[in-house]
Amino acid sequence: MLPPGITLRGRPETSHLCADADILPEKPLREMTAADIDEVLAVNLRGSILSVRACLPAMERAGHGRIILTSSATGPTTGYTGWSRYGASKAGQPGFPRGAALELTPLRITVNAVLPGNVRTEGLDALGEDYLRRMAAPIPLGRLGETPDIAHAVGSLASDEAAFITGQTLTVDGGQTVPESPDALALAPASVSG
């Protein structure tokens, strides 16, 4: 039986899950209520865990499985003003695969997380070109990520070739979290786009 509010799309007998739902309501810490915090944690963290739990019977019947959580670089690695509850929820996601991997490896189920950096989406596009330039500026590869960049990382972890990878996090951010400071990025050779 599925937890309330959780539905499975696609095949009822699945051996793969990419838990990718999240919400990102911006609000300063001083203005947050307990309900505001609970809302983000319920969708971003609790929802991921419940999705995994809902898929386990089908994966057990299949005799194997691949679980990939889509977290974020914001929270586990970086922060952003007004996004502290989002960051807290996303920081929990890379922690979950570690314990879950230990529980599920005897069932041949791997559990990993992907941490995207700044990725171009319709929501970001709506904020305008100036905003997009500022978001891309700290990325050594010189551009925002695109949805296929993340999809390829997830696909790799979902593949048979990734059968020996579990309990890990993969940051996909064009090197955004690598520089120690803006000075380190400024001292690097000029960024290339594409």
Residues taking part in catalysis:
86
Residue 141 — left, alpha, or beta (φ > 0 → left; ψ -120 to 50 → alpha)? Answer: alpha
Nearest to 165 by CA among 174, 178, 173, 156: 156
In DSSP terms, which residues pair with 67 in a beta bridge?
17, 111
Single out the residue of 178, 172, 140, 175 nearest to residue 156, CA to CA.
172
| CA 118/CA 124 separation, integer angstroms | 9
Q: Are 180 and 127 in contact (CB under 8 A)?
A: no
Where does the chain have alpha helices with state H?
Answer: 34-41, 47-62, 84-104, 122-125, 129-136, 147-158, 182-187
Q: How far is the first Cα of the chain from the last one, in angstroms, to the nearest whole number?
A: 46
